[in-house]
Structure 1
Amino acid sequence: MLLLGLGAPGCVSPSMQSDLARVRELTHMPLPPQLAVARDEGTGFPEEVRQWLQQPLTAEAAVRIALLNNRELRASLRDLGVARGQLLQAGVLPNPAVEVELRQQEDPGLPFEPQAEVRVEYGLTQAVLSVARARAAQRELEAARYRTAAFVVELGYTVRAAYYAFQAAQQRVAIATQALDAFAAARDASQALFEAGNIPELDAATQDAAYESARATVAQLELEVLERREQLQRLLGLHGEATAWTVTETLPRMAEQEPALENLERKALTASLELAETQHRLEGAAQRAGLTSVEGWLPDVSVGVIAERKSPVAPAHGEWEWGGVIHFTVPLFDRRQGTRSASEAEFDALMERYQGMAIDVRSAAREARNRVLSTYLRARQYQQVLLPARQRVMRQTMLQYNAMQIGVFQVLQVRREQLDTELAYVDLLREYWTAHAALEALLAGRRTGAPLGPGSGASLAGGTEAGGH
């Protein structure tokens, strides 16, 4: 066991590359090796980021920029060094204790020549237990890697949700601007008719108030575009000249077929990084509890060597005499009862949380399925039924208007209703893609909006809501 203890510290790599490779393996996401290297803002952005920013961003390109450039992600990867350092320290062997004692001979008439005694002691018990401590710390390091992997998955979801929200905000402004043009046309027509004496002043004032209200709505939507852009900007970690990026104008259309959602609960449980993290923490807590139990009954044994140089009057003057010593404690009173009780309580609490987390993951899988299906069916209803119906109504209205059966105000009202339907469709489309991104994150191992486990101060910037619409 002592030989194992000697070899344990050498098995741990101090490099961050091993942690990064493990997180990449857990997430199946393209984490670049540059994340292991500290980067100063004075050096500018990586070349890959500049290339992606030169063309309209897609959702996947935005995620790749965030994986390379998000400062909170870089910090969370470096937080793994805390657990790695604890593992290194847990496997380090104890230092030997050295005691040197100098004594003058008893006869003051003899010339000064002190006696010397040297003691070297080493704690065998602590050396043996360092193996078990390193094994428990290894579980904590693996749990920290799973926690960081969960953060990576959630960052990908949050970037996609912010991207879709920004796209939808841009699309809503474009539609609202068209509606504003319709309100302006109605206002101008009513003003001309009022000046000609064909309509009362109340009708003209009503159209003017409607136009001003639409202007306020467009201004509010323009502010929403700016806010959504800055939310995405923070997630991407961009500043300065790099903030002049653009995205594709419209949200992507949905697939014609409904998404396949079979065995979703089982897949979510199997992929859950949260459950895997808690499982490793459970194993570490169990090993610490066992280690505490062993420390309670195992004596603290130290062995040593004594070397003593004889006095000048001794027969073996000037020679060294050697001997050995063994020290040990008798565990009569302090058998680590309180520490053992605390470790067992920690294990029981983690077990309860593990069971509750499994229930939550199943519920999240059902919730994600319901949200995706509901938004898909509603958006498809708008796409295949409501929008074509509004277009037919508009065509028939124009025919009636050309036949002088209805007035311009009825035409403009139908146009505004058509634009309102398009606005609702954009909201549903954004809600669907956000729900789809949340489902992908769940199947990648992370419930969106779930708190990260202890030991991580990571938080996602931007304030993007975690649940869609």
Structure 2
Amino acid sequence: MAALRPLLVRTAAVAALSASLAACASVGSDGGMAPVISRVSLDLGKDTAKIVTASDAAAVKARVDRLLARPLTADAAVQIALLNNRGLQAEYNVLGVSEAEYVEASLPPSPTVSIERVAGSGDLDVERRLIADLLQLLTLPKRAKIAKTEFRAAQYKAIAATFRTATEARRAFYRAVAARETAAFLESARASAGAAAELTKKLGETGAATKLNQARSGALYAEVATELAEARLEASKEREALTRQLGLWGRDLNYKLPGRLPSFPRLKSQGDVEATAIRQRVDIIGDRLELDALAQAYGLTEQTRAISMLEVTGLANHTRSADGEKANPKGFEVAAEIPIFDFGRARSVKARETYMGAVNRLLEKAVNARSEAREAYATYRGRHEIARAYQDRVLPLRKVITEEAQLQYNGMLVDAFELLTNARENVAANVAGIRAKRDFFIADVDFQAALIGGGSADEPAPEPKPASANPASAASPE
């Protein structure tokens, strides 16, 4: 009895501490969104919100309607996606689940109450039991700390999902606008080719144009018309891809896109892109926090490896015999699992291997992040040089060639074949110029994503989390 008193005193102290800790952990009104909103505002200059109530949905709808009332811009598309994309809202729901799990892990284990009544031959025996999981209670502070770290990691995962949504919306916007601009140019080129084909046909009727030149002119018109059909299909597909990213439907589908890609922005300097990526990428920060949680769970597993069940039971009996005598004995019972076949070695090894696997994945991600940042900047600068070459040299020269070829054809200095060949090359150069400019803007988006995170939608599946609710398996997730 005397030997058990220190244990009972310690249990009472831990229970008091647990009650205090549980009082501090509660589900917040914002669902853990405060760090997400702050980081999105700081890095993207945009707003995001979790839609919970009907008033939240109405406020979001009103703002989306205001943004759609004007021709869409890249910034407006990102803002609409951050407010209206239901996939992103689902990520915020996952964050809310993580907060609830943190609160659950911070609560003391609920005791079990049992009452047993046995009567017969005039005797009555009533036994009352109050059973508490002592091991759960003793490990509560550490399990709560693990759950809090996991919750912080989940917040960074939500930030990464927000950045990814913004990145995908901006990419989709540039692709949709470029496809629309390409279709508009080919529409104009088809009209010019059609007029030339009609003129050549009339000249052929008078004998001024050969049958070969008529066929060449008709072929050019047919080729441009086919390219236009392809461009229109691509424009429709890219617009639908943008629509999905924005989460629009119904009357909102009539939003207006600009006819041309925006002008070139100021070129960004390189700086130390590797250090910036390692310091700012939210996916790496989230993985670091998950690794911290695994480390804490591994330590808890080592501390509890030799025992996975420890219960204390308070007993109170009420006995009445047939002759009227009564007895009310009281006492307690302590039950512990005896590790005859497993001294926790398997759990310890599993926890260690899980932890080291997470360490190696994080190191791999850090190495890859450095490389991705360098590659993204090289691609950004390369795409800029290619797009500027088209805008400043190739297309102006093509315009001069087209004008001079037309003059020489009018002066009968060149034949129709050379004029048609130049027309084909001019169409190809302009389409390539639009695509080069589109690729530069997408490379700009990818470079930003490589520095802060959210670059790829194909994220690897998250590793299993430690089952912090059970100290026996705290670092051995299933």
TM-score computed with the length of structure 2 as normaliser: 0.85
Alpha-carbon distance between aligned partners in 1 of 2:73 and 2:57, rounded to the nearest angstrom: 27
Q: 2:36 aligns with which of 3, 23, 37?
A: 23
Gaps of 5+ in 1: 457-469
1:142 aligns with 2:157: no
Compared CA separation, residues 417 and 323, structure 1 to 2 (3 A): closer
Match of 2:370 in 1: 362
Compared CA separation, residues 452 and 193, structure 1 to 2 (3 A): same
Which amino acid in structure 2 is aligned with residue 24 of structure 1? Answer: I
Q: 1:438 deviation in Å? A: 1.0
Q: 1:11 aligns with which of 24, 34, 48?
A: 24
Alpha-carbon distance between aligned partners in 2 of 1:262 and 1:238, rounded to the nearest angstrom: 38
Q: 2:429 aligns with which of 410, 417, 421?
A: 421
Deviation per CA, 1:371-426, whole angstroms, max 9, x where unpaired?
Answer: 10001111112222222222333443455456554466655654553343222211
Q: 1:286 aligns with which of 295, 298, 314?
A: 295
Q: How many residues align?
A: 449
Deviation per CA, 1:167-212, whole angstroms, max 9, x where unpaired?
Answer: 1111111211222123213212221221112333122122212211
Compared CA separation, residues 196 and 44, structure 1 to 2 (3 A): farther
1:350 aligns with 2:358: yes
Q: Is the Cα–Cα contact under 8 Å of residues 130 and 313 in structure 2 kept in the other structure? A: yes
Q: 1:306 deviation in Å? A: 2.8
1:275 aligns with 2:284: yes
Q: Percent identity?
A: 26
More displaced stretch, 382-391 vs 65-74: 382-391
Paired residue secondary structure (1:46): helix
Alpha-carbon distance between aligned partners in 1 of 2:46 and 2:397, rounded to the nearest angstrom: 46
Alpha-carbon distance between aligned partners in 2 of 1:423 and 1:360, rounded to the nearest angstrom: 34
1:390 aligns with 2:405: no
Which amino acid in structure 1 is aligned with residue 391 of structure 2? Answer: Q
Compared CA separation, residues 210 and 322, structure 1 to 2 (3 A): same
Q: 1:307 aligns with which of 303, 312, 316?
A: 316
Alpha-carbon distance between aligned partners in 1 of 2:119 and 2:411, rounded to the nearest angstrom: 128
Paired residue secondary structure (2:334): strand
Deviation per CA, 1:414-454, whole angstroms, max 9, x where unpaired?
Answer: 45533432222111110000000111122222333551441
Q: 1:215 deviation in Å? A: 0.9
Alpha-carbon distance between aligned partners in 2 of 1:70 and 1:453, rounded to the nearest angstrom: 21
Match of 1:254 in 2: 264
Paired residue secondary structure (1:8): helix
More displaced stretch, 172-181 vs 19-28: 19-28
Q: 1:245 deviation in Å? A: 0.5
Q: 1:360 deviation in Å? A: 0.8
Which amino acid in structure 1 is aligned with residue 87 of structure 2? Answer: E
1:210 aligns with 2:200: no
Q: Is the Cα–Cα contact under 8 Å of residues 70 and 236 in structure 1 kept in the other structure? A: yes
Q: 1:155 aligns with which of 165, 178, 182?
A: 165
More displaced stretch, 19-28 vs 341-350: 19-28
Match of 1:433 in 2: 441
Could you say what the CA RMSD is over the residues aligned between the two structures, in angstroms?
2.9
More displaced stretch, 266-275 vs 89-98: 89-98
1:443 aligns with 2:451: yes
Gaps of 5+ in 2: 1-13, 465-478
Alpha-carbon distance between aligned partners in 2 of 1:352 and 1:91, rounded to the nearest angstrom: 30
Q: Is the Cα–Cα contact under 8 Å of residues 306 and 322 in structure 1 kept in the other structure? A: yes
Alpha-carbon distance between aligned partners in 1 of 2:387 and 2:364, rounded to the nearest angstrom: 34
Q: 1:225 aligns with which of 211, 235, 248?
A: 235
Q: 1:104 deviation in Å? A: 5.0
Q: Is the Cα–Cα contact under 8 Å of residues 26 and 146 in structure 1 kept in the other structure? A: no
TM-score computed with the length of structure 1 as normaliser: 0.87
Match of 2:179 in 1: 169
